Homo-oligomer: A and B are copies of this chain.
Amino acid sequence: LIAEGIAGLFQSDILSGVRVVITAGPTREAIDPVRYISNHSSGKMGFALATAAMEAGARVTLIRGPVNLPDPDRIQCLRVESARDMLEASLQQLGECDIFIAAAAVADYRPLQTADQKIKKSAASDTLELTLVKNPDIVATVAGHEQRPFTVGFAAETQDVENYARHKLQQKNLDIIVANDVSRSDIGFNSDENAVTVFWQQSQQAFGQMSKTTLARELVRLIAQRYRAATE
């Protein structure tokens, strides 16, 4: 216990030799060359997890959507825009991935068609119908893959957080799901702080409001514990 406490104060080796792939940020789904659909993810949580995993000894690959953050030191970074780009990059990493952490806020839907030219405003009509189609579910695709890594998902909800999170844990065949309530404006997307509850098959653990850096270290510790329990 003392050793565990001290390890927590300094850099640790709880993920030494483990290959971790993390997705972060939003995706952007093009409507035309200038317009897109996206979401408010800042990427801060995913980037903090990447740094925390690296500090814990892991070899980290960060698949980053369009965010305004510099590539973290000593982490391989791959830049993607759309959900389909992110899925492709994720699948390409599976041969060298022990733990997959899907922290990105992937767009659930994309426009059915992407226009080659900027869509002009129509004088004839005051409305425009946009047909959206479901994007591939990246974390569920990874968790269902024959080269399945230990898979950690995220759930950003605005209501009924535990029910939705436990449902996604089962339905997507995840090992762990990290749920946060994005209806709270003081934490989450554009904040430097967050508060989450982590669910897995046997139990759950709540983390009160703290900096994303500190929370990332706590989450990496928990993920490492569950990963060791699952693979030993």
Measured in the bound complex, the distance between the Cα atoms of B156 and A33 in whole Å is: 11
Chain B residue at minimum C-beta to C-beta distance from A126? B134
Tell me if A92 is interfacial: C-beta within 8 Å of chain B.
Answer: no
A134 partner residues in chain B, CB cutoff 8 A: 121, 126-128
Pair B37/A107 contact, Cβ less than 8 Å: no
Q: Are B35 and A183 in contact (CB under 8 A)?
A: no
What is the CA–CA distance of A35 and B36 in the complex, to the nearest angstrom?
A: 11
Q: Does any Cβ of B come within 8 Å of A206's Cβ?
A: no
Interface residue? A203 (CB, 8 A): no
Given contacts A118-B182, A133-B126, contact A38 B36 (CB under 8 A): yes
Give the contacting residue for A35; candidates B33, B37, B112, B159; CB below 8 A. B37
Chain A 31-51 against B: per-residue CB contact (8 Å), 1 yes, 0 no?
Answer: 101111111100000000000
9 CB < 8 A contacts A-B: A34-B40, A109-B121, A112-B127, A117-B159, A118-B156, A118-B159, A118-B182, A126-B133, A129-B131
Given A35-B37, A118-B156, A129-B130, output 15 extra A-B contacts at Cβ < 8 Å.
A33-B158, A34-B40, A34-B189, A35-B107, A36-B37, A36-B38, A36-B40, A68-B68, A109-B121, A118-B182, A121-B134, A127-B131, A129-B129, A129-B132, A130-B131
